[in-house]
């Protein structure tokens, strides 16, 4: 029957996700923008298996090339729908009780907000991860206010919501608040993290046991290094805070990817706030956003090195499950179940 097939499909999706490990890093390259004259890209090659090669514009030949490997690399031509379809199983696993954290990391202007939210006033086609995830969750479940027992964040607020529209309203309020006290929205967003957290509560109809999980959608502050000679006072303090929280996040993800016994959550407020959703059974996805322009070469390299370190060497290695099945086999089963569902529809 249809619902059994769906449940089985979800279960297999979760198994596939589990085999992939709990940390994944997806790299996304921003296209050149309309009206932009200079179109030479520092990204030389994008492979199918998450490889990419970056070329130093001031060095010739092999010497200037550096390759990286992540779980996935999205070319500038990738669409919002393509990106979301890859992470949809992760979002849906929130309904199975998993805590999930999705980050966008990168320098200002690299497409973090585009990936997470989409352009201002986007049509459905251009919606980012946030809207698509919320839509999905509301389609399947009904969310409401829950008691918040995480770390107290003085500036954080929690509201009951009844549908995607409620959350969109809240997000707009949040974005307005984020822009407060600064002349430009982009300036503000480059200097603050934006976190949307959705708490999901449910009850297993059969066993009666309750579950509580959460989805964090995080548009991080710009990762660019601030020139110390140009900023002083509060601005410098702010820049140091951002650097500290981003490197603390990198350290936590690295420690998790390495399966270290000690995870250094306490080194920043950001990692403390997200602690319950980083590590353990929680699933983490980081979008590494790149600006392909030649002028961004050194920021691009430092972004990639950050991501490479955070993800660790073993990242994404296919582990065999106890009963010996591997990812490919499970993927094939998922595909055939999808087929079955399509035929039933």
Q: Could you tell me which stretch among 42-50, 108-116, 165-173, 306-314 binds ligand ADP (CB under 6 A)?
A: 108-116
* Least Å from the CB of residue 33 to Mg ion: 14
Position among 17, 72, 99, 113 found at the interface with ligand ADP (CB under 6 A): 113
Per CB under 6 A, 33 contacts ligand ADP: yes
**Contact flag: residue 113 with Mg ion (CB under 5 A):** yes
Is there binding between residue 193 and ligand ADP (CB under 6 A)? no
* Per-residue CA distances from 1 to 11, 96, 322, 345 (Å): 15, 20, 28, 12
Within 8 A by CB and 6+ apart from 157, the residues are none
Tokens linked to 271: 């990692």
Q: Three-state SS across 106-145?
A: CCCCCCHHHHHCCCCCCCHHHCCHHHHHHHHHHHHCCCCC
Least Å distance, CB 195 to Mg ion, is 13
Strand order in the sheet with 43-46: 43-46, 51-55, 65-69
Identified binder of ligand ADP from the candidate list 289, 296, 300, 303, rule CB under 6 A = 289
Report if residue 115 touches Mg ion, rule: CB under 5 A.
no
- For residue 273, what are the contacts with CB-CB under 8 A and spacing of at least 6? 150, 151, 153, 195
Nearest approach, Cβ of residue 149 and ligand ADP (Å): 31
CB atoms within 10 A of CB 63: 8
Tell which residue, 81, 85, 102, has the closest CA to residue 25. 102
Question: Does the annotation place 35 within a ligand binding site?
Answer: no
Is 108 annotated in a binding site? The answer is yes
In the list 189, 223, 284, 311, the residue contacting Mg ion (rule: CB under 5 A) is 189
Residue 281, token pair as written in the block: 């059974």
Question: What separation, in Å, do the N-terminal and C-terminal C-alpha atoms of the chain show?
Answer: 12
- Contact flag: residue 316 with ligand ADP (CB under 6 A): no
284 is in an annotated binding site: no
118 labelled ligand-binding: no
Closer to ligand ADP by CB, 19 or 43: give it.
Answer: 43
Q: Which is nearer to ligand ADP, 64 or 76 (CB)?
A: 76
Q: What are the start-end ranges of the E strands in 19-176?
A: 23-29, 43-46, 51-55, 65-69, 72-74, 100-105
* Interaction between residue 119 and ligand ADP (CB under 6 A): yes
| 279 three-class SS | coil
Give least dist CB 110 to ligand ADP, A.
Answer: 4
Judged by the rule CB under 5 A, the positions of this chain that interact with Mg ion are 112-113, 189
Question: Per the annotation, where are the binding residues for ATP?
Answer: 106-113
Judged by the rule CB under 6 A, the positions of this chain that interact with ligand ADP are 30-31, 33, 106, 108-114, 119, 289
Question: Per the annotation, where are the binding residues?
Answer: 106-113
């Amino acid at each position: 029957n249809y619902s059994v097939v769906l449940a089985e499909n979800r279960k297999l999706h979760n198994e596939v996700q589990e085999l992939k490990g709990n940390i994944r890093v997806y790299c996304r390259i921003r296209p050149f923008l309309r009206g932009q004259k200079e179109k030479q890209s520092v990204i030389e090659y994008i492979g199918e298996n998450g490889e990419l090669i970056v070329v130093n514009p001031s060095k010739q030949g092999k010497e200037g090339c550096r390759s990286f490997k992540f779980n996935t690399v999205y070319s500038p031509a990738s669409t919002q729908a393509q990106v979301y379809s890859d992470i949809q199983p992760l979002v849906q696993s929130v309904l199975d009780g998993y805590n999930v954290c999705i980050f966008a990391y990168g320098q200002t202007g690299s497409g973090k907000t585009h990936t997470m939210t989409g352009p201002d006033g986007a049509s459905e086609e251009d919606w980012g991860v946030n809207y698509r995830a919320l839509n999905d969750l509301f389609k399947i479940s009904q969310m409401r206010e829950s008691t918040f027992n995480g770390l107290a964040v003085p500036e954080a607020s929690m509201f009951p919501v009844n549908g995607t529209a409620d959350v969109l309203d809240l997000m707009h309020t949040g974005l307005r608040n984020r822009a407060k006290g600064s002349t430009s929205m982009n300036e503000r967003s480059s200097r603050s993290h934006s976190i949307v957290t959705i708490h999901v509560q449910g009850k297993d109809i059969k066993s009666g046991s309750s579950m509580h999980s959460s989805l964090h959608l995080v548009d991080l502050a710009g990762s660019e290094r601030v020139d110390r000679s140009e900023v002083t006072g509060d601005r410098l303090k702010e820049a140091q805070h951002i650097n500290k929280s981003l490197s603390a996040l990198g350290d936590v993800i690295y420690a998790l990817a390495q399966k270290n016994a000690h995870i250094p959550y306490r080194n920043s407020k950001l990692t403390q706030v997200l602690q319950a959703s980083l590590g353990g059974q929680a699933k983490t996805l980081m979008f590494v956003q790149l600006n392909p322009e030649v002028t961004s070469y050194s920021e691009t390299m430092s972004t990639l090195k950050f991501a490479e370190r955070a993800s660790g060497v073993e990242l994404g290695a296919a582990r065999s499950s106890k009963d010996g099945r591997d990812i490919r086999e499970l993927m094939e089963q998922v595909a055939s179940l999808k087929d079955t569902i399509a035929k039933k529809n």
